[in-house]
Amino acid sequence: MIKCISNSFTYILVSLLSLSAFAQNIDVDAFEKKIQQTPNAYLLDVRTSGEFGGGHLPKAINIDFRSPDFSAKVAQLSKDKPVLIYCLSGGRSAQAAEQMRAAGFQVTEMKGGYLKWTTRMKPLEGVPSVKHDAAWNLADFKKEIASSDAVVVDFYAKWCAPCLKMMPIVDKLAGEFKGSVTVLKVEADGNQAIMQAYGIDEIPSFLVFSKGEMITKTSGFREEAALKELFTATKK
């Protein structure tokens, strides 16, 4: 009898822990409600400062997860306050949340990140007033990739300094490889469906396709020689 009770207790405990873990990663609507219900919580954006400067959730604070001083900055936060965390699509925030939980923080992640938040037309602040390029239709985008032997896709944003620095180099290489490599440019703002479809969670990012098959996926700033490797990769 005692063994039966013990087993039942263990089952209940495991179930509760599983539910608790599930509740740590919630959808956009639940995340918005959580913000409203816990005004004392830290609303933490772990994207880069450039991404943050292109728009963020109201009253969010920014600590770049990829920066060397991430742990040091997080250590300055009070563990008595809950943390509501997000990134572009959920990848970086999941890693940051795991690290912070191990350090003793109570962390709730937003499933789908900033991309999902914007597709639901939720409130934003800090969005620069720039004229955006025409958005892609996902079906047209896939058709373009499938119809070309070699494609380099440049995911960029007009508020992203590394993107702007690489843009003339990408244009130069597009000219050099004209006729053999097709270059598609996708602005992050307005093309959330494409970014989610291909798992793009950081800007700048590049995808390389050969005969419709993705062969390379990379992110971050690249010098001209490294960018040229993306164009030549389609020929290997």
- Taking only the tens place, the pLDDT of each residue in 5-31 is 445 444 444 444 443 444 599 999 999
Active site annotation includes 160: yes
Residues 205 and 155: beta-carbon distance below 8 Å: yes
- Residue 183 CA to residue 170 CA, distance in Å, equals 8
Question: What's the DSSP call for residue 41?
Answer: S
Residues 28 and 123: beta-carbon distance below 8 Å: no
The DSSP H or E segment spanning 20 is helix 2-23
Q: What are phi and psi of 212, to 5 degrees?
A: 85, -5
Homologous superfamily of the 138-233 domain (CATH): Glutaredoxin (3.40.30.10)
pTM metric for this prediction: 0.63
Domain residue spans of the chain: 2-119, 138-233
Measured CA angle at 99 (ends 222, 85), to 5 deg: 80
User: Reading across the β-sheet that carries 25-26, which strands appear in turn?
Assistant: 25-26, 107-110, 83-86, 42-45, 61-62
Catalytic residue among 85, 163, 207, 227: 163
Q: Please, which residues bridge with residue 43 across strands?
A: 84
- Residue 148 CA to residue 207 CA, distance in Å, equals 14
Q: Report the CATH number of the 2-119 domain.
A: 3.40.250.10
Catalytic residue among 150, 152, 160, 200: 160
- With tokens 């913000």, the residue in question is 35
- 138-197 pLDDT, tens per residue? 999 999 999 999 999 999 988 787 888 899 999 999 999 999 999 999 998 889 889 989
For helices 161-176 and 224-233, angle between their N-to-C axes, nearest 10 degrees = 50
